[in-house]
Amino acid sequence: MGKTFTISDDERGIIFGLLAWFLNDELVAEEMGIDLRKGILLSGPIGCGKTTLMKIMRQMPFNRRNYSVISSREIVSEFMLNGYEVLETYSRGILRDHHRHPKNFCFDDLGAETTSKYFGNECNVMAEILLTRYDLYKDQGIITHATTNLTADELEATYGNRLRSRMREMFNLFGYDGTSEDKRK
């Protein structure tokens, strides 16, 4: 970051599209094929800056759609400790006052988590959460975002074709090509 931070040519389109989405710019969004009612699925290789971009966009003063960035691995770890109430927390966004206030989330590193068990019951935690988030999207327009290193085929292998189909409906896909270099060097 800082003085050495540069935006490469292959990133400009992604950043421009994200800005159009966060600014709710209907004209640019239409030109770029972005549906402002859908969330964002930011896909690309390890270390290309997906998480950083979503955290930066969250902090921008023009962002009218607040969301929390949470690691998918952390959610699964929380599930293994606390059980099925974790599904409700991240599916429906129950807040501390225990009232249901659907909350927007960005699930970071989707697909990096493992299937887990709680008292011997196996559960694909993120698949269950995303299926409920899909219902909230359809019924109430609740937005979900995610970052992933997985391709569409890998997402389908991990979560099944039923969820992949719903993800197409829930998300605008913004993808880095496979040639983006790791910025963590």
The domain that contains 124 carries what CATH number? 3.40.50.300
The pLDDT score that the predictor gives to residue 20 is: 94
Least confident piece of the model among 66-75, 94-103, 107-116, 163-172: 94-103
Reading phi first (left if > 0) and then psi (alpha if -120 to 50, else beta), residue 166 is in alpha
The pLDDT tens digits for 5-62 are: 677 787 889 999 999 999 999 999 999 999 999 999 999 998 888 999 999 998 887 7
Is the residue at 108 inside a domain?
yes
Per the structure block, which two tokens stand in for 3? 């003085």
The 3-state DSSP class for residue 184 equals coil
End-to-end CA separation in angstroms for the chain: 12
Average pLDDT over residues 139-151: 93
This prediction has a pTM of 0.86
Q: Is residue 80 part of a domain?
A: yes
- Residue 183: inside a domain: no
Residue 151 covered by a domain: yes
Q: Do residues 165 and 156 touch, judged by C-beta distance below 8 A?
A: no
Per-residue pLDDT for 154 more than 70?
yes
Position 107 pLDDT exceeds 80: yes
Task: Give the pLDDT confidence of 111-129 residue by residue, as tens digits.
Answer: 886 666 545 567 889 999 9
**Residue 48, in any domain of the structure:** yes
Query: In this structure, is residue 9 part of a structural domain?
Result: no
For residue 14, being part of any structural domain is answered with no
Tell me what pLDDT residue 96 has.
47
Q: Is residue 121 part of a domain?
A: yes
Q: Please, how many CA atoms are within 13 Å of residue 177, restricted to the half-sphere of its CB? A: 7
Instruction: Kindly tell me if the per-residue pLDDT of 145 is higher than 80.
Output: yes
* Token pair recorded at residue 89: 């927390």
- Decide: 155 and 167 in contact? Cβ < 8 Å: yes
The whole domain housing 49 covers 37-175
Residues in the chain: 185
Q: What gap in Å lies between CA 83 and CA 157, rounded to an integer? A: 25
Query: What is the total count of domains within the chain?
Result: 1
Task: Calculate mean pLDDT across residues 68-86.
Answer: 88
Instruction: Count the helix, strand and coil residues of the chain and give each as a percent rounded to the nearest 5.
Output: 45, 20, 35
Chain segment 86-106, per-residue pLDDT in tens: 888 888 775 545 555 568 899
